[in-house]
Chains A and B, each alone.
Chain A
Amino acid sequence: MMQTQAMQTKAAANTMDHQSIWAGAEELSVLTFNLNGETFAIEATVVQEILDLLPETHVPGSKPFVSSVINFRGKVIPLADIRLAFGMEVNEATIDSRIIVIEHELEGEATLIGIRTDRVYEVTTLTRTASEPPPSVGMRWRADYIDCLVKRGGEFVILPNLNAIFASQGDRPAVANG
């Protein structure tokens, strides 16, 4: 009983997030990229820059999700690996690997964060009519880490919920139950 309620609340919260990212608009301009074979997308307006791999500095004692920092134009910014948040395998860096630098609000403070990706595709437009909230069952990933899924040319593009991911600092799912 409690669980159902909790799930309903969660679903409701997701729907709200789901609506908020579109902010009433029918179309959303996004940057698509590849993480371990899946296509993800981040709102294009938050993307600051796409970087080639550069020297990283490991931060001893930090969580694997944000295990290092990089020098981005004279600023020291954290490098996050959201593959870990989704429980994905971390592939070796390839010649296609890139870092996407986004500006994200953490506890009310605009913060620059680098995100590791296996490959960056393009800036494209997603339509709201093709989007749907994450299914509450049948998914390997934590549902609250996903804003919505958007159907596009026979495959799904995943819009991660960065707020949820960074707020919980990419804690791994306690092995998702379904």
Chain B
Amino acid sequence: MSNPDPISVFRTEAAECLEQIELGLLDLTRDLTDRAQVDAVFRGLHTLKGSGAMFGFDALAAFTHHCETAFDRVRKGDVPATQELVSAVLSAQDHMRALLDTPNGDHEGVSAALLENLHRAVNGAGGEPVAQAAAGVLVADVPVADGVKQWQIRFSLPANAMANGTNPLALLDELRDLGECRIAADLSQVPGFDVLDPADIHVAWNVTLKTAQGRSAIEDVFIFVMDDMALDIKDVTAAVAAPAVKVVAPPITVAVSKPASAEAQPAAAPAADAAKGKQASNENVRVPAERLDEMMDRVGELVIAQSRLTQLAGGADDFGLRSVSEEIERLSGELRDTMMVLRMMPVASLFSRFRRLVHDLSRETGKEIELITEGETTEVDKTVIDRLADPLVHLVRNSIDHGLERPEDRIAAGKPAKGQVILSAHQTGGEVIITIRDDGRGINRDRVRAKAEASGIIQPGQTLTDQDLLQLIFQPGFSTAQQVTNLSGRGVGMDVVKKTVEALRGTIDITSRPGEGSVVALRIPLTLAIIDGLLVRVGKGSYVIPLSAVEECLEISIEEDLRSRGRSFISLRDSLVPFLRLRELFRTGTQPDQHQKVVVISTGTERVGLVVDQIIGDHQTVIKSMSKLHHDVDTFSGATILGDGGVALILDVAHLVAAGQQQEAQLRAAG
């Protein structure tokens, strides 16, 4: 457990590395001159190459090497960053993922094609092949007689550098590779033996280097340690030639602890930023999700045990016990809240992948698309993020494929040529609402109706509310696309989107205006593990109704109940609400309570009343899922453990509402 498989650690890190590269590349597509991003991408590629080779992913390392080389040339200003290059590297980056997943697969053909692509992007129509360019950079230590300069380099590393994996000897070797080197160690900072920590570095180095390479080549040697070290590079060629005290190039001093000098600021600022980022990421701990889940289970059990303690203490006269019990109640409540926060992740991690998707779709469809994301800091349970990824991809694809028009059509309709897709997230109460909005042509209701009639989902001419009509697109086997494009038919269908959202106890609303676009709103509960519930009694059993679905509670007398028998409707402020007698539904075989209650629940627009014997009160519920043996029972979405150790089942609101609507439809048909 404490020694995780190094290969899997590498995979995780490489995946992150690729993500960083992708983000950098996407930022570059906006601003091709962004030096910081070019550097970030280069650094990412370099790390990937290095660690890939170290862990035996040779194909990955070799392939990445070419991309790195290409970016190195961009970084040095040899070639400009172009959209073609960025796109080529983006697709190459996908291939790296494949190489990472199946290192032993047959990737030769794809690799060659992608490299060819890359090569064209770097060199324009006819330049030198990438491979040669690579060789040019890598085997650059062939000294050229003229243009050789002499450099005076002084560097010192932070004391803990070796613990972080830096090998000073390797740095010196790299310097030697650049040209003729004279290296002298500066031992002046080495402390006495009594205080010497042998794992720390106390030595600084003075190096005199003769090389034809420029300053940047020397800086590159230190690229991965530059953030934390002190480095001083001076061009002393002139000083050697004519011993005048004249420094040709201003010294570049990069040190995080000291403010950078005025001349060095452009170089120092990004480095400092990078250092800041590094610090922030160092404070994170990577924990496998299962461990969090285990801990969540324990906390859940603690909450249950605590509520039993509270009950016991409440019944006893012992004040000492009571105060301890209250203390524990507060602590376990706080622990639970903390635990919930641990599982929360900003939706930014969900949204970020759409930039890439939109970039690709824009190229594939020839539509100009702008993706706007809002509310990226909104936090959602990690499980929600994981499970929503595929449905959201589908919805965004749909918006782009079916919603947005071609640029010429948009201009003809008086809209800007560039279509907009807005992804936004915000939190209201216990729910997170994620919306996908486009400014395209909107949903063509006639086509939806025609299609639904053709496929037998609705009767010809059946009257439907607008919302019902729009919801038809979530029916299995429904598609209005007149032609099957590359986009549609991939991944999940809209019915799967709806199922996934419902499995997360969420709902989908659609609004659409012809010519103005559509809005799909996913309402997802904030957390999956704990809900506020209303505890009710039906017969002898206790059941929990999710409080978020409860609209109101009414009393219904036996007389009213008898009178309404046969129609099962109550009138609630001038509208009829169908109701279900849970006693009958659950076949309890008990007599109705004298004071039955109706709990009115709703999912968005539809309502249904549930007749229960007694309302016990609200109850914080740790949701336990039911085993696969009970998957055929769809009246319940889960179970929870009560304060006395008993089990209460949690009612599945969506299912009950559907059952109520069905009953209503039957009654209407009969009456």
Contacts of B587 in A (CB 8 A): 60
A71 touches B646 (CB 8 A): yes
Q: What sequence of 0s and 1s flags, for each residue 66-92 of chain A, a beta carbon within 8 Å of any chain B beta carbon?
A: 100111011111101000000000000
Contacts of B640 in A (CB 8 A): 76
Give the one of B629, B636, B645, B646 with max A CB within 10 A: B629
A78 touches B629 (CB 8 A): yes
Chain A nearest CB from B558 CB (Å) reads 23
Contacts of B27 in A (CB 8 A): none
Taken together as a complex, chains A and B put the C-alpha atoms of A169 and B631 apart, in Å, by 11
The 8 Å CB contact of B649, one of A59, A73, A80, is A59
Contacts of A74 in B (CB 8 A): 297, 300-301, 304, 641
Given A57-B541, A76-B639, A113-B627, A70 and B647 contact (CB-CB distance below 8 Å): yes
Asked if A13 is at the interface of the complex by the 8 Å CB criterion, the answer is no
Asked if B286 is at the interface of the complex by the 8 Å CB criterion, the answer is no
Contacts of A80 in B (CB 8 A): 629
B647 touches A76 (CB 8 A): yes
The 8 Å CB contact of B647, one of A61, A62, A69, is A69
Which secondary structure dominates where chain A touches chain B?
strand
Given A74-B304, A75-B624, A61 and B635 contact (CB-CB distance below 8 Å): yes
Asked if A10 is at the interface of the complex by the 8 Å CB criterion, the answer is no
Asked if B553 is at the interface of the complex by the 8 Å CB criterion, the answer is no
Q: What sequence of 0s and 1s flags, for each residue 628-662 of chain B, a beta carbon within 8 Å of any chain A beta carbon?
A: 11101101100111000111110000000000000
Asked if A26 is at the interface of the complex by the 8 Å CB criterion, the answer is no
Please choose the segment from A38-46, A103-111, A153-161 that sits at the chain B interface, where 4 or more of its residues have CB less than 8 A away: A103-111
Taken together as a complex, chains A and B put the C-alpha atoms of A129 and B635 apart, in Å, by 48
A106 touches B628 (CB 8 A): yes
Taken together as a complex, chains A and B put the C-alpha atoms of A83 and B586 apart, in Å, by 24
The 8 Å CB contact of B627, one of A58, A71, A111, is A111
Closest to B538 in A: A60
Given A60-B587, A76-B641, A69 and B626 contact (CB-CB distance below 8 Å): yes
Contacts of B301 in A (CB 8 A): 73-74
Chain A nearest CB from B638 CB (Å) reads 8
Asked if B163 is at the interface of the complex by the 8 Å CB criterion, the answer is no
A62 touches B646 (CB 8 A): no
Asked if B585 is at the interface of the complex by the 8 Å CB criterion, the answer is yes
Contacts of B627 in A (CB 8 A): 77-78, 106, 111-113
Chain B nearest CB from A80 CB (Å) reads 7
Contacts of B630 in A (CB 8 A): 59, 62, 66, 69, 78
Chain A nearest CB from B564 CB (Å) reads 22
A residues at B contact (CB < 8 Å): 55, 57-63, 66, 69-71, 73-78, 80, 106-107, 109, 111-113, 166, 169
B residues at A contact (CB < 8 Å): 297, 300-301, 304, 541, 585-588, 624, 626-630, 632-633, 635-636, 639-641, 645-649
Contact sample, A vs B, 8 pairs, CB 8 Å cutoff: A55-B646, A57-B648, A58-B541, A59-B633, A70-B647, A71-B647, A76-B626, A77-B627
Extra pairs beyond A107-B628, A112-B627 (10, CB < 8 Å):
A58-B541, A59-B630, A70-B647, A71-B641, A74-B301, A75-B297, A109-B628, A111-B628, A169-B629, A169-B632
